[in-house]
Amino acid sequence: MSKLRITSWLSPSTYSSSSTKTDAEGKKQPQHRRSLSMFRRGEPEANATKIVATSTPAQSSTVPPSRMVVLAQQITKETEKLETYMRDNNLPMPSFDVDAPADFPKLPEDILKSRQEIIRATKELNLLALGPRESLRWGVWEFLDILALQVISHFGIAKLFPADSTITLSELEAKTSLDPINLARLLRLIMTKGIFCEPSHGVIAHTAASRLLAEDADMEAWIGFNLEDIFPASAHVLEAIKTYPEATSLTQSGFCFAFDTVDKEPMFVTFGKDPNRARRMGRAMVSLTGGEGYEVSYFVNVEGGGYDLSDVDAAGGTFVDIGGSHGFVCVDLATRYKNIKFVVQDLPKTVDSAPKPICADPQAADRIAMLAHDFFTPQVTKGADVYYFRWIIHNYSTPYAIKILQNLIPALKPGARIVINDHCLLEPGQENSWDESVMRRMDVVMLTLLNAQERTEAEFRQLFKDASDGFFFKGVTRPKGCRMSIIEAVWQPKDNALVEKADAIHATDATNEAAVAPMPTAG
């Protein structure tokens, strides 16, 4: 952990004049930050279900029920709908029991809406029942639940006894180096969140959630990455943004303040030096991308609103996955499209550690090349049809993101498509409330780790515009049920000089086809 940098807190000189502008009121406004228009209020909540107030017999016909009663009625109605669906389909009911399923099955759209409505309405009712003062007073203590989970998870307590048996606290104490008093107090705190239970005094049992801690290695990694990397970093965001209010540099984030790497190295470099931490983050990403609303199938399945590559397939074209990790998106695409050639680009260490062959099906594997390429250098795979970024652009503030897009330009043929697969933030209240909270939290995770951000459609449009006038912004689509959007631009340079220059590069560059032709499988 870094020491507090009190001297830099006191210095207002960290505002760089080149990167600030003055607004109408004379206040300095940092550039490269998102526009604040999204914080305008007053729009109707698009996803809020219209509630028809109905009087109960106890109420006078002129007095409408309170918001609390309306919410309670709505919770009952939607819960009954969900329960009927589960019962009719012989599905197990949600429960904390150790044997309860860890996930809901894929629900039809209307039932999924009921489930989302239950989540939204119970949260609102909870806040109303608490009242503003109590919800503020005790809401700020939620980090203590997180702290308890951090310690219990770090010490691997869930793995110390089998899921189908109980253990006494004294037996558990003998199996861990965690101090007995701390073990008991932290366990009992996370029990209030449905993680472990104490069926009788001093006897500990698993719940469905604690069983996941014991058995799901990707979930364990997700919790470790969040609670041992992001959580400490989040405690330093205030210090970071007080010291560097513009908050765009990769080496001045809360993460850098927490781990003493300010102005030294970005998070990815820190992780690169620590294989265990890097592996944990990799597994955490697997847990995230396997999670509801993030599956790769949303991008691949055209029928569900995914991205259509049939014309690229018909032409035997090329798809480049930039920062594509171990190429799992291309593996899925190569299974669907039989003629597209794929290039997965990532940093050398990632390319080297990719599975060889990249997948079991040789028809797909033979068309997927792994290539070491740093996206902060000019693109080397020239003349491809699609350049794809999944979970990349949101890792960078605007100055870096512009650079990444500009690095494509020397490789682009007219008509080349640039496809970004990221969250695309809507106006407040336009998203269902669960999705909105996940996406806005992700936005703050990006700030915490990398001084980066999620973006709105207008911000993506502006990003392409700032990168070059040659990018024609086509718009944003989003498969139903998916949290990630597909943001697309096409390279259409209006300037003839630019077209001729690009044509000349493509005509003469020996690597144009060669970069994708030999297809060395997996690095």
Ligand X SMILES: C[S@@+](CC[C@H](N)C(=O)[O-])C[C@H]1O[C@@H](n2cnc3c(N)ncnc32)[C@H](O)[C@@H]1O
Q: Does 235 bind ligand X (CB under 6 A)?
A: no
Instruction: Round to whole Å and give the CA distance between 213 and 206.
Output: 10
Q: Does 327 bind ligand X (CB under 6 A)?
A: no
Would you say the C-alpha torsion 336, 341, 346, 350 has a positive or negative sign? positive
Q: How far is the CB of 323 from ligand X (least distance, A)?
A: 3
Provide the pairing of β-strand 386-390 with 471-477: unpaired
Q: Return the structure tokens found at 144.
A: 């203590």
Instruction: Pick one of 346, 422, 454, 459: the residue that binds ligand X (CB under 6 A).
Output: 346
Instruction: Pick one of 38, 130, 146, 285: the residue that binds ligand X (CB under 6 A).
Output: 285
Q: Does 323 bind ligand X (CB under 6 A)?
A: yes
Instruction: Round to whole Å and give the CA distance between 77 and 87.
Output: 15
Please give the residues from 394 up to 423 whose contact with ligand X meets the rule CB under 6 A. Answer: 395
| Segment interacting with ligand X, rule: CB under 6 A, options 38-46, 207-215, 229-237, 320-328 | 320-328
Please give the residues from 436 up to 495 whose contact with ligand X meets the rule CB under 6 A. Answer: none
Q: How far is CA 177 from the centre of its chain?
A: 34
Instruction: Round to whole Å and give the CA distance between 56 and 281.
Output: 52
β partners of residue 420? 389, 487
Instruction: Round to whole Å and give the CA distance between 369 and 342.
Output: 6
Report whether the peptide linkage leading into residue 357 is cis, meaning its omega lies within 30 degrees of zero: yes
Q: Which of 281, 229, 284, 239 is nearest to 259 (CA)?
A: 229
| Segment interacting with ligand X, rule: CB under 6 A, options 112-120, 214-222, 368-376, 472-480 | 368-376
Q: Does 347 bind ligand X (CB under 6 A)?
A: yes
Nearer of residues 172 and 392 to ligand X, judged by Cβ:
392
| Segment interacting with ligand X, rule: CB under 6 A, options 72-80, 220-228, 243-251, 391-399 | 391-399
Catalytic-labelled residue, pool 326, 394, 423, 506 = 394
| Segment interacting with ligand X, rule: CB under 6 A, options 184-192, 352-360, 362-370, 374-382 | 374-382
Following DSSP, what letter does each residue of 403-450 receive, concatenated?
HHHHTTGGGPPTT-EEEEEEEEE-STTSS-HHHHHHHHHHHHHHHHHH
Residue 201 bears catalytic tag: no
Number of other CB atoms surrounding residue 250 within 10 Å: 21
Q: How far is the CB of 339 from ligand X (least distance, A)?
A: 23
Q: How far is the CB of 391 from ligand X (least distance, A)?
A: 4
Return the residue nearest ligand X (CB atom): 323
Instruction: Pick one of 375, 434, 460, 491: the residue that binds ligand X (CB under 6 A).
Output: 375
Instruction: Pick one of 14, 170, 376, 465: the residue that binds ligand X (CB under 6 A).
Output: 376
- Count of residues interacting with ligand X (CB under 6 A): 16
Nearer of residues 370 and 426 to ligand X, judged by Cβ:
370
| Segment interacting with ligand X, rule: CB under 6 A, options 73-81, 164-172, 384-392, 487-495 | 384-392
Instruction: Pick one of 150, 325, 456, 485: the residue that binds ligand X (CB under 6 A).
Output: 325
Instruction: Say if CB 481 and CB 404 are below 8 A apart.
Output: no
Q: Return the structure tokens found at 318.
A: 């090329």
Angle between helices 109-130 and 67-88 (to 10 degrees): 150
β partners of residue 456? 425
Q: Does 306 bind ligand X (CB under 6 A)?
A: no
Instruction: Round to whole Å and give the CA distance between 293 and 498.
Output: 40
Nearer of residues 119 and 347 to ligand X, judged by Cβ:
347
- Kindly state the greatest CA–CA separation across the chain: 83
Q: Which residues are catalytic?
A: 394
Binding site for ligand X (CB under 6 A): 268, 285, 289, 323-325, 346-347, 350, 374-376, 390-392, 395
